[in-house]
Chain A
Amino acid sequence: GDKQLTMNMFYSFQ
């Protein structure tokens, strides 16, 4: 199956 990416792979915590 496909691998699900997550938000923190794209955006960093402020």
Chain B
Amino acid sequence: LPPLSSDEDENVAKTYLMKFYDLTNETDSDLHRGVHQMTLKLKEMQQFFGLEVTGVLDSNTLEVMKKPRCGVPDLAE
């Protein structure tokens, strides 16, 4: 599915991953090492929900993020 590019969608995804997948703000060292937390966390989330694991924010992934749900993180802290 085509990746989504809207800033609003990106923000929805970022907020969701921070709440439920322990996404933290990327540090300079993350970027230096080529580690993109957002991609890793998206993959974790896609795997959890049985979506195709791409690490890319597509319409299916966003659709799942917008469903009503429990506020407990999916990956226990």
A associates with B? no
Question: B-contacting residues of A (Cβ < 8 Å)?
Answer: none
User: Interface residues, chain B, CB within 8 Å of chain A?
Assistant: none
